[in-house]
Structure 1
Amino acid sequence: MARQTVRVEGLRELDRALGELPKRTGKAVLRRVLKKASEPLAAEMEAGAPVAAGELKESVAASTKLSARQKRIQKRATAREDKATAEFYVGAGALPQAHLQEFGTKDQPPQPFARPAWDRNKMGILRSIKTLLASEIKKAAERIRKKG
């Protein structure tokens, strides 16, 4: 598969504005933005999940949390402590068969649902993050200003 380059302008300014907010507020802003921006992806993944895999369909979610098994598997990137950072996950829940549906096995052909949903939604999600982040930063700054 060919590599794609994605360019999103204006994030440096938003990152700077986010850094001016208190750390706790910045994390809350990021979580709200990521939740709103990822909802369409989760809905499309759920809609595209194989019907025969009913519990897989029901397990698709967007969340800041991983199951214990997913935490063990995931490679943690080290986040800088001086910045407000947030991690958000969209995908199948703690089902060991989810990746088998997506990629297939020697006895079962692949039934991808996650990657096609991402491919169709990625640019919209990135634009949504930019737009929502600008809006949420302004709202948070206004709330802080009003408090004193």
Structure 2
Amino acid sequence: MKVRVSFVGGRELDEALNQFTPSKRRAIGRVALDNAGEITAKAARALAPVDSGGLRESIEVSGTLSRAQKSQHAKAAEQERFIGPDSRPQAHLREFGSDGNAPQPFLRPAWDQTKNAVKDRIGDELWVGIEKAVKAAARKALRAKS
């Protein structure tokens, strides 16, 4: 599922991020997306059907996909994080159902419940990351003068 998000202050945020090196921007974005994605992951864990608990335990926020998932994914953005179960074969069967089993959706309802909170958290986390990076750069410059 591909989701595009826009929000108030995005242009200012982009300008603030552009003052950093690409690797620093990626680090700030990675932390922000991981922390915000955990909101949806937590909701998905709460909604996941429990037999042995393995499905619930496998839901995580990650920057990597399984080999099978990678073959079906076209990278669309500089920063991407994935929320969901690991490569367990039963995950999509639980979410969407199969011939003998009714669907037991957990990931889509979790996203629907948390998408606004995630969007807000991403913006907040990015600003926090920018502020931390600016303070660290100021400390580094002060040490260089001494």
TM-score for both structures, normalised by structure 2: 0.87
Per the TM alignment, residue 53 of structure 1 is displaced from its structure 2 partner at its CA by: 5.6
Q: Which residue of 2 aligns with 1:36?
A: 35
Aligned mates of 2:22, 2:74 — CA distance in 1: 24
Question: What is the Cα-based RMSD across aligned positions, in Å?
Answer: 1.7
Per the TM alignment, residue 87 of structure 1 is displaced from its structure 2 partner at its CA by: 1.1
SS in 1 for 2:83: strand
1:132 corresponds to which letter in structure 2?
E
**Contact 2:5/2:119 (8 A) holds in 1:** no
TM-score for both structures, normalised by structure 1: 0.85
Identity of aligned residues (%): 40
**Contact 1:60/1:93 (8 A) holds in 2:** yes
Deviations along 1:33-85, whole A, 9 cap, x unmatched?
A: 111111121111112111126321111001111122221222222x4xxxxx3
Q: Give ranges in structure 1 of 5+ residues lacking alignment.
A: 80-84
Q: Give ranges in structure 2 of 5+ residues lacking alignment.
A: 142-146
> What aligned pairs does 1:54-65 form with structure 2 within 5 A after superposition?
54-65=53-64
Greater CA radius of gyration, 1 or 2? 2
Aligned mates of 1:126, 1:113 — CA distance in 2: 20
Per the TM alignment, residue 7 of structure 1 is displaced from its structure 2 partner at its CA by: 5.3
Q: Which residue of 2 aligns with 1:127?
A: 120
Q: How many residues align?
A: 138
Aligned mates of 1:53, 1:7 — CA distance in 2: 39
Query: Which segments of structure 1 move beyond 4 Å, counting only runs of 4 or more?
Result: none
Change (3 A) 1:53 1:105: farther
Aligned mates of 1:30, 1:113 — CA distance in 2: 26
Given the alignment of the two structures, is residue 138 of structure 1 paired with residue 131 of structure 2, yes or no? yes
Deviations along 1:68-120, whole A, 9 cap, x unmatched?
A: 2221222222x4xxxxx321111011112211111112321100000110000
2:14 corresponds to which letter in structure 1?
D
Per the TM alignment, residue 27 of structure 1 is displaced from its structure 2 partner at its CA by: 0.5
Q: Which residue of 2 aligns with 1:27?
A: 26
